[in-house]
Amino acid sequence: MPVWAGQIITAGQLNRMQPSTHLATADTNLVRNNTTAAADIPGATVTVVTTVANAVYTVTGTFDVQIGATGAGNMVGYLHVDGSADAGVAAKRMDQVTRDTIAQLWRGTLATAGSHTFKLVGQTSVATASAGNIFTSGSTKLALTISEPV
């Protein structure tokens, strides 16, 4: 929203003019052995409070993934916003004994003001008995920017 000459600006408007940034890093490996079920990546969660409706979010998710020696398959990463999967996935076909970092970018609008939770979720496309199908801690990260309308 433009600011007009002579317009009186409130402190709340000034605060919303600057986007807020947040970073969460996985603090524990998410192991996906012998299952195709998606699960939350521990520590890769951010909760924010918006003061007005229609705030815009931008999320970059980086998923550091590795697959062990006994299987191959797809490693898939999702963003969940307030408990629902956002459109778009980070996906990588993994061969035996492979480690990669895959990324995805999401953008959307939060229709209501209030508390909102963003989290990264991971899964594999095949159930294997490998001991190395993991989303690694320390390198799997969620970077969030919130821009609220003035």
What structural domains and CATH numbers belong to the chain?
11-147 (2.60.120.40)
Q: Tell me how far apart the alpha carbons of residues 66 and 125 are, in angstroms, rounded to a whole number.
A: 13
Q: Let me know: does 61 contact 142? Beta carbons within 8 Å.
A: yes
Per-residue pLDDT tens for 14-43?
766 789 999 999 999 998 888 888 999 999
* Residue pLDDT, tens place only, 77-132: 999 999 999 999 999 988 778 889 999 999 999 999 999 999 999 998 877 766 67
The burial of 148, by beta-carbon neighbours within 10 Å (0-12 exposed, 13-18 middle, 19 or more buried), is given as buried
Q: What is the pLDDT of residue 70?
A: 67
Q: Phi-psi category of 34—alpha, beta or left, where left has phi over 0 and alpha has psi -120 to 50?
A: left
The mean per-residue pLDDT over the stretch 35-55 comes to 94
Structure confidence at residue 132 (pLDDT) = 74
Q: What is the mean pLDDT of residues 141-147?
A: 97
